[in-house]
């Protein structure tokens, strides 16, 4: 009889033992969102909001604790004890106000009350948030509120603990404003209609910072059984409605609010594409995973507070720019025409005076897939309005701040190899922006005639406007040179030297100058200028801060001072001479250095470029540890659409883009023991601080991929190659 082979049995037994004893561990996805504290910056003057949003999304649904005055640019201050309701759009960390569209407030009890009588107390211990999710318990109506969001749609879930006339206040007049008068008059027109018992649609046009049109579709999972229209004030156009529902205690009311700049139909398409069902937990999970996928691109080691600060900064940089085009690519442009985005998506919310410095360089490194979309959006808006955006919101220009830093963003992208836009078309827009005068602050005829903006021919900000324009000229020259446009390159390169015309060798300051060439007197270098309030020749700063605003030519600036020694002596005084000011935008002071405002952000790194890197290393440690804290008042100034946050992350890595267009990152010192960047092409770039501690803040030596590195900066290309940057600390 033939014996059966035991081989298959033995193999199966071995495989069983192997898989039993050596089962591969289940891959656990790290949750980086747990390190995000959305309340950082939501007190004092950080002007952030804690609510729910999607990365680069149109929607930011968040609580409102106030709406009138500079304190409420984001409609929320952590110290407040009353919630007015929940609006669907917000600005992150800005110094001006707008948006705050469609306030919703769950209410119970008597309905025939004034619209402002429905505000509710809440307990801080019952309020919490994470990326893409916010929740709070309202004490007076006894309602649990939960918010989440997709790109264009806010999703609300209300659990009514008592069912005494369960209702919602829908306020279409609301929006943050500078004054009570503006609050009641900012809506120009308001149309709304009930499509059925479950659906409210409408269109609102209002004006605070820009003239804004938004269309909405609001859907409920339960029918509206009754509605009440509240009286309107004399100047008011926005309607206020109390919509009631038949609920039992403990039951939920779900609501979706989708927005569009184009039409009600556009808002409807957005909602149907993004949140077709009533699955709140599913949407909450999707937005959580989306945030986590971005945050996981950087791995950091450090204390829990350091991780929270870092990942919250990462989070804040990705709130904007915002996709305002519909799901099909259509949007309302600067001329109020409905057009389709050339690249399929259109972004707005470009706080360029702030973000060109570090936020946009950060995007080129960590979210490069969005950069071409940003550039195409800048070009499209520029072609419609005649110049590149200065401060773009909701597809419109608000003319806030100075310079034309869309020029820098485009030139930087081209320098770094981005080619998802038409370079010739882009440069044509750059050239037009820098040569054809446009409203308010870019009078190129005066600029080119005198080689600066004379203080007696310029309403305000003459020095700052000159220096900011000079940087954009340099950016234009760089792009022209790379495109082989020699004549344009030479023209803009000449203008990039105009900063020298405002340097007063007697005082060693960038000083306001008259059309006849004489200096303005008297001159107080500590006097803070602010165009909207006190006027002056500087933008939210003074001569101490703006004298260093020569990002593109530090050697040239050093030469004006007469050499490195004189340059460094003056630079030392920036951090020791005390500044007394009540100007809200000039904060985070170390001497005259104001970290709460952007013109100072590169100044500490100038020591490295002038041959004293150890002083840069001292200062960045001081700024890093004192101006950022894991607290609601943990930002020393407005986050400014992610610029404050981008400074923190770059500084943590040990380098900073003093001159973004150059593609070089100037060395400081790493502020965390290890940071790993996950880059395109499955590459990683790891920054290690060997012997890192509170005491060891100085860099002894730097090694790139095992070889000693002697340069003062590292290039964008070197980082993208991947590898290891080792700082030996002492």
pTM of the model: 0.95
* Angle CA 411–415–419, to nearest 5: 90
Whether the CB-CB separation of 92 and 639 falls below 8 Å is answered with yes
Write out pLDDT tens, residues 501-536. Answer: 999 999 999 999 999 999 999 999 999 988 777 789
Does residue 702 have a pLDDT over 50?
A: yes
Question: Do 727 and 653 form a contact (C-beta atoms < 8 A)?
Answer: no
How far is Cα 728 from Cα 691, in angstroms, rounded to an integer?
A: 7
Mean pLDDT of 151-178: 95
Q: Mean pLDDT in the chain? A: 94
The full DSSP string for 388-410 is --SEEETTEE---SSS-THHHHH
CB count in 10 Å sphere of residue 420: 13
Angle, helix 371-385 to helix 406-415, in steps of 10 degrees: 140
pLDDT for residue 441:
84
Phi-psi region of 180 (alpha: psi -120 to 50; beta: other; left: phi over 0): alpha
**pLDDT value, residue 581:** 80
Output the pLDDT for position 456: 97
Per the omega criterion (within 30 degrees of 0), is the bond before 171 cis?
no
Please report how the helices 486-495 and 462-482 are oriented relative to each other, as an axis angle in degrees rounded to 10. 160
Q: Which strand (E) or helix (H) includes residue 363?
A: helix 359-366
pLDDT at residue number 111: 80
pLDDT at 286 over 50: yes
Domains present along the chain, CATH in parentheses: 33-294 (2.70.98.10)
Q: Picking from 273-287, 350-364, 507-521, 577-591, which range would have the lowest pLDDT averaged per residue?
A: 577-591
Residues pairing with 218 in the sheet: 200, 257
Stretch 664-674: mean pLDDT, rounded? 98
Q: What pLDDT sits at residue 28?
A: 62
* pLDDT tier, 575 (very low <50, low <70, confident <90, very high otherwise): very high
Higher pLDDT, 101 or 162: 101
| Nearest of 181, 176, 178 to residue 100 by alpha carbon | 176
Query: Helix, strand, coil proportions of the chain in percent (round to 5)?
Result: 35, 25, 45
Q: Between these two residues, 334 and 439, which has the higher pLDDT value?
A: 334
Q: Is the pLDDT of residue 473 over 50?
A: yes
Mean pLDDT of 563-572: 98
Give the whole-angstrom CA distance, residue 155 versus residue 674. Answer: 38
DSSP 219: E
Interval 137-146 mean pLDDT: 97
Burial degree of 482 (CB within 10 A; 0-12, 13-18, 19+): middle
Straight-line distance from the first to the last Cα atom of the chain, in angstroms, rounded to the nearest whole number = 81
Q: Tell me what pLDDT residue 582 has.
A: 75
Whether 20 shows a pLDDT value over 90: the answer reads no
Of the two residues 6 and 213, the one the predictor is more confident about is 213
DSSP reduced 3-state for 158? strand
What distance in Å separates the CA atoms of residue 525 and residue 544, rounded to the nearest whole number?
6
Q: Is the dihedral of CA 418, 420, 424, 426 positive or negative?
A: negative
SS (H, E, C) 504-555: ECCCCEECCECCCCCECCCCCCCCCEECCCCECCCCCECHHHHCCCCCCCHH
Q: How far apart are CA 596 and CA 351, in angstroms?
A: 15
% of the chain exceeding 70 in pLDDT = 96
DSSP code string of 429-489: HHHHHHHS-BTTTB-HHHHHHHTS--TTTSSS-HHHHHHHHHHHHHHHHHHHHHTT-HHHH
Contact 296, 30 (CB under 8 A): yes
Q: Which residue shows structure tokens 């409408």?
A: 202
pLDDT at residue 19 in the model: 34
pLDDT per position as a tens digit, 609-637: 999 999 999 999 999 999 999 999 999 99
Mean pLDDT, range 157-180, rounded to an integer:
95
Query: What's the pLDDT at 531?
Result: 76
Contact call for residues 536 and 460 (beta carbons, < 8 A) = yes
How would you classify residue 705: left for phi > 0, otherwise alpha for psi between -120 and 50, otherwise beta? Answer: left
Distance CA 40, CA 633 (A): 6
Q: Can you name the residues that pair with 252 across neighbouring β-strands?
A: 159
**For residues 586-598, average pLDDT:** 95
Q: What's the mean pLDDT in 322-330? A: 98
- List, for residues 366-392, the tens digit of each pLDDT value: 999 999 999 999 999 999 999 999 999
Average pLDDT over residues 649-658: 98
Question: pLDDT band at 7, cuts 50/70/90?
Answer: very low
Per-residue pLDDT tens over the stretch 46-81: 999 999 999 999 999 999 999 999 999 999 999 999
C-beta of residue 39 within 8 angstroms of C-beta of residue 632: yes
Please give the C-alpha separations between residue 4 and each of 7, 14, 16, 24, 135, in angstroms, as whole numbers: 9, 19, 21, 33, 67
C-beta atoms surrounding 237 within 10 Å: 19
Least-confidence region, from 8-12, 98-102, 302-306, 668-672: 8-12
Element of type H or E holding 688: strand 683-690
Taking the mean position of all CA atoms in its chain, how far away is CA 428? 27
d(CA 214, CA 99) in angstroms, rounded, equals 10
In the chain, count H helices and then E strands.
20, 37
Q: Tell me the average pLDDT across 295-315.
A: 98
Q: What are phi and psi of 40, to 5 degrees?
A: -60, 130
Confidence of residue 423 (pLDDT cuts 50, 70, 90): very high
Q: Hey, which bits of 322-425 come out as E strands?
A: 322-323, 330-332, 338-340, 347-348, 350-351, 391-393, 396-397
């Amino acid at each position: 009889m033939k014996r059966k082979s035991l081989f298959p049995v033995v193999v199966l037994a071995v495989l069983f033992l192997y898989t039993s004893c050596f089962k591969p561990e289940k891959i656990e996805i790290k949750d980086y969102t747990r390190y995000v504290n959305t309340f950082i910056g939501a007190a004092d003057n950080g002007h952030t909001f804690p609510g729910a949003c999607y990365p680069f999304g149109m929607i930011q649904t968040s609580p409102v604790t106030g709406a009138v005055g500079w304190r409420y640019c984001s409609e929320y201050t952590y110290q407040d004890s009353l919630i007015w309701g929940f609006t669907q759009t917000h600005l992150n960390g800005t110094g001006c106000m707008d948006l705050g569209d469609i306030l919703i407030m769950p209410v119970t009890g008597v309905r025939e009350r004034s619209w402002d009588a429905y505000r509710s107390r809440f307990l801080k211990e019952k309020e919490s948030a994470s990326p893409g999710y916010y929740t709070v318990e309202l004490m007076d109506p006894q309602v649990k509120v939960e918010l989440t969001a997709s790109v264009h749609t806010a999703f609300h879930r209300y659990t009514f603990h008592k069912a005494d006339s369960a209702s919602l206040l829908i306020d279409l007049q609301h929006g943050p404003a500078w004054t009570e008068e503006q609050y009641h008059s900012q809506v120009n027109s308001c149309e709304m209609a009930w499509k059925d018992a479950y659906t409210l649609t409408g269109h609102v046009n209002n004006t605070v910072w820009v003239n804004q049109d938004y269309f909405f579709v609001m859907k409920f999972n339960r029918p509206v059984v009754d509605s009440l229209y509240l009286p309107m004030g004399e100047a008011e156009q926005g309607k206020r409605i109390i919509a009631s529902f038949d609920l039992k205690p403990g039951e939920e009311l779900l609501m979706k609010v989708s927005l569009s700049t184009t039409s009600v139909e556009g808002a409807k398409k957005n909602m149907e594409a993004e949140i077709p069902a009533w699955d709140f937990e599913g949407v909450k999970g999707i937005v959580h995973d989306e945030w986590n996928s971005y945050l996981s691109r950087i791995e950091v080691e450090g204390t829990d507070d350091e991780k929270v600060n870092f990942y919250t900064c990462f989070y804040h940089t990705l709130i904007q720019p915002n996709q305002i085009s519909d799901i099909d690519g259509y949007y309302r442009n600067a001329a109020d025409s409905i057009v389709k985005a050339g690249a399929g998506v259109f972004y707005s919310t470009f706080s360029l005076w702030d973000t060109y410095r570090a936020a946009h360089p950060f995007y080129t490194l960590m979210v490069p897939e969005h950069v071409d979309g940003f550039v195409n959006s800048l070009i499209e808006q520029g072609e419609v309005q005649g110049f590149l955006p200065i401060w773009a919101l909701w597809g419109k220009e608000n003319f806030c701040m100075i310079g034309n830093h869309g020029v820098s963003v485009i030139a930087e992208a081209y320098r770094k190899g981005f080619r998802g836009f038409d370079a010739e078309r882009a440069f044509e827009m750059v050239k037009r922006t820098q040569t054809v005068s446009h409203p308010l602050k870019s009078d190129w005829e005066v600029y080119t005639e005198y080689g600066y903006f004379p203080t007696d021919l310029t309403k305000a900000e003459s020095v700052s406007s000159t220096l900011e324009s000079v940087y954009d000229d340099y950016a234009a020259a760089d792009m022209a040179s790379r495109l082989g446009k020699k004549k344009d390159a030479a023209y803009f390169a000449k203008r990039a030297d105009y900063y020298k015309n405002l340097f007063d060798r007697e005082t060693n300051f960038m000083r306001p100058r008259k059309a006849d060439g004489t200096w303005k007197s008297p001159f107080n270098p500590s006097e803070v200028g602010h165009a909207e309030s006190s006027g002056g020749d500087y933008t939210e700063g003074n001569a101490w801060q703006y004298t260093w605003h020569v990002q593109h030519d530090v050697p040239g600036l050093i030469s004006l001072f007469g050499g490195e020694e004189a340059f460094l002596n003056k630079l030392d005084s920036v951090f020791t001479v005390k500044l007394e000011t009540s100007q809200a935008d000039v904060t985070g002071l170390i001497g005259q250095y104001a970290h709460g405002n952007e013109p100072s952000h590169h100044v500490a790194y100038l020591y490295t470029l002038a041959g004293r890197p150890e002083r840069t290393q001292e200062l960045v440690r001081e700024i890093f540890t004192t101006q950022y804290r894991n607290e609601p008042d943990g930002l020393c100034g407005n986050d400014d659409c992610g610029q404050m946050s981008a400074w923190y992350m770059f500084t943590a890595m040990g380098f900073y883009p003093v001159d973004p267009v150059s593609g070089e990152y100037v060395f400081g010192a790493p502020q965390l023991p290890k940071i790993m960047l996950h880059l395109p092409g499955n590459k990683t770039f790891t920054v290690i601080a060997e012997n890192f501690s509170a005491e060891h803040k100085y860099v002894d030596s730097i090694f790139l991929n095992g070889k000693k590195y002697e340069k003062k900066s590292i290039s964008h290309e070197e980082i993208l190659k991947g590898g290891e940057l080792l700082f030996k600390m002492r």
